[in-house]
Structure 1
């Protein structure tokens, strides 16, 4: 047995034994750093806001929550006149979608895209909104089902 140990040492093998308590503590600290636990080193309590902020960063929610907070204060950010005539619909991949009440306001907001984008990003503190997509009011669709026939439209059925 001693000869086998001797030859293993010559080949560079290490002695495998029980792990040290220091290595265990270091592994535990690394695991604690990766996970957002409600306690710090020595199990001291951590502020709830720090834990929630770490969770939001880890899940990738920070950008969406920032934009949602601005759209919740839409009237304060864009002003009463614009807020009366348009509302935000959603935010996805840097594109904020806004729906206008009339086609005239949709055109006006399209002309003001740069100003509104700048104002929103200024409110957020960084460039999150890359593009502002303006939708106008939608007309009623008379088509039913996946297939349609070209023609004059709904007037054909009224006689």
Structure 2
């Protein structure tokens, strides 16, 4: 009889990653990181004025309080998009819509 104690141990992360991949949920799980990344990338000050609304089909929707903030974010949206994609490891955000 072979003991199961002789098998190499796997971390919980490895087990979850295998399950997620097995079910084909990789992209869905990664997309759920976008709101957190948004806040980290733009910082607290901007995130308080420019709120994540949703992420759908490669488009990140952001709501702003004023036209001044809309203009500021519009000028910086490419750099925000590039930073999210860089952190993600591939192109997940195609466009950022600011309203």
Q: Does TM, normalized by the shorter one, top 0.5?
A: yes
Aligned to 2:61: 97
Q: 1:106 to 1:129 in 2, by over 3 A?
A: same
1:113 aligns with 2:77: yes
1:127 aligns with 2:94: no
Report runs of 4+ in structure 1 exceeding 6 Å deviation. none
Matches within 5 A, 1:9-158: 44=7, 47=10, 48-135=12-99
State the TM-score, normalized to the length of structure 1.
0.49
Structure showing greater Rg: 1
Q: Tell me the CA shift for residue 116 of structure 1.
A: 0.9
- Larger strand proportion of the pair: 2
Q: 1:59 to 1:109 in 2, by over 3 A?
A: farther
Q: Secondary structure at the match of 1:127?
A: coil
The CA RMSD measured in Å over matched residues stands at 2.4
Give the unaligned 5+ runs of structure 1.
1-41, 136-159
Q: 1:133 to 1:60 in 2, by over 3 A?
A: farther
Assess if the C-alpha contact under 8 Å between 1:67 and 1:124 holds in 2. no
